């Protein structure tokens, strides 16, 4: 069991959904976010900090032997907040980890690193990046940074390219991209329990019949997704109007992110 698991982005959608189920894998949870964290328990440690603040990130990481890094900008925005949270923030996090015993890190990367692939493409973990947004580019930076800290210092990371982590798939695209919260939780448990991890790319997706991503390189890890978006197909067909086949949400793995402009401040 971990002694102290740091969960960044604990006030966000995934942080709030996953945290209650992670109490069993660590003696203490340290919950961090720039925003107030609504559902913390009295025994949780709370840290309010901006990932762009190096000293605050160093203090946030000190004393932790595992990190679930969910914090950061999670959508397409102007470059400034992405730079602060996802680029400077990642550097600050890995530098803090280097200074404090190299706790294993699960980095919430994204399908938007490869969003310009077609939904007819099938991808292995070593595919060429095809980012669909500045947000996707920032996740590629995070993956590259993690790799460099592994090569230079042996820092272990799981780079989880999350598809769409929602309680249920919500539209036709998510029949391919869905990652159930249960499958994410079992992955987190497996990653922190594994004897060795290295720096491993993992497609964060359930065992979807209509899925696009191949995790067969992970046989050694002993994790297999259990859920399947196909179980929700009838519900989606009945409740969500089917977009035209050439609509971005039906054509591209990254869906509508492929259509976003470069947003400017102001
Ligand atoms: P979210 O936007 O709900 O949560 C992100 C949290 O990060 C927020 O609570 C926000 O306050 C915090 N944050 C933002 N900027 C910060 C800063 N400068 N310093 C400290 N904290 C900051 O996102 P969600 O859906 O919970 O996703 C969690 C992570 O997983 C994100 O990194 C996202 O990119 C990634 N991801 C999520 C997917 C999903 O389906 N939910 C899919 C792919 C990736
Ligand atoms: C992501 O990376 C986003 O953080 C999330 O909000 C969703 O848009 C998800 O990808 C998705 O592609 O469904």
Pocket of ligand 2 (CB under 6 A): 74-75, 110-112, 164, 177
32 within ligand 1 shell (Cβ under 6 A) = no
- Nearest ligand by distance to the CA of 13: 1
Residue 158 CA to ligand 2 center (angstroms) comes to: 18
Q: What is the pLDDT of residue 8?
A: 98
This model of the complex carries an ipTM of 0.99
pLDDT tops 70 at residue 36: yes
Q: State the catalytic residue, choosing from 91, 94, 117, 135.
A: 135
Q: Residue 234: CB partners within 8 Å, gap ≥ 6?
A: none
Residue 238 CA to ligand 1 center (angstroms) comes to: 31
Over residues 121-148, mean pLDDT: 98
215 within ligand 1 shell (Cβ under 6 A) = no
pLDDT, tens digit (0-9, with 9 covering 90-100), for 210-245: 999 999 999 999 999 999 999 999 999 999 999 999
Mean pLDDT of the chain: 98
- pLDDT confidence band for 266 (50 / 70 / 90): low
pLDDT, tens digit (0-9, with 9 covering 90-100), for 112-133: 999 999 999 999 999 999 999 9
> CA 5, CA 28: separation in Å to the nearest integer?
6
Residues 2-259, CATH architecture: 3-Layer(aba) Sandwich (3.40)
> CA 58, CA 73: separation in Å to the nearest integer?
20
> CA 212, CA 139: separation in Å to the nearest integer?
19
C-alpha of 99 from chain center: 23
């Amino acid at each position: 069991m971990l002694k102290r698991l740091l969960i960044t982005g604990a006030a966000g959608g995934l942080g709030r959904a996953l945290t209650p189920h992670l109490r069993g894998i660590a003696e203490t949870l340290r919950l961090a976010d720039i925003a107030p964290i609504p559902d913390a328990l009295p025994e949780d440690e709370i840290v309010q900090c901006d990932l762009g603040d190096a000293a605050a990130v160093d203090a946030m990481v000190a004393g932790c032997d595992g990190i679930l890094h969910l914090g950061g900008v999670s959508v397409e925005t102007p470059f400034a907040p992405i730079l602060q949270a996802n680029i400077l923030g990642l550097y600050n996090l890995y530098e803090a980890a280097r200074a404090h015993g190299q706790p294993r890190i699960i980095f919430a990367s994204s399908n938007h690193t490869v969003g310009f692939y077609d939904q007819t493409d099938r991808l292995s973990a070593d595919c060429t990046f095809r980012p669909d947004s500045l947000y996707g580019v920032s996740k590629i930076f995070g993956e590259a940074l993690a790799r460099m800290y592994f090569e230079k210092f042996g820092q272990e990371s799981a780079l989880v390219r999350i598809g769409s982590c929602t309680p249920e798939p919500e539209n036709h695209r998510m029949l391919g991209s869905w990652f159930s919260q249960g499958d994410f939780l079992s992955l987190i448990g497996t990653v922190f329990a594994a004897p060795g991890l290295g720096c491993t790319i993992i497609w964060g997706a359930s065992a979807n019949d209509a899925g696009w991503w191949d995790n067969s390189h992970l046989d050694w890890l002993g994790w297999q997704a259990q859920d399947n978006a196909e179980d929700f197909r009838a519900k989606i067909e009945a409740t969500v109007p089917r977009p035209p086949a050439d609509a971005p949400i039906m054509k591209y793995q990254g869906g509508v992110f492929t259509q976003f402009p470069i947003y400017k401040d102001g």
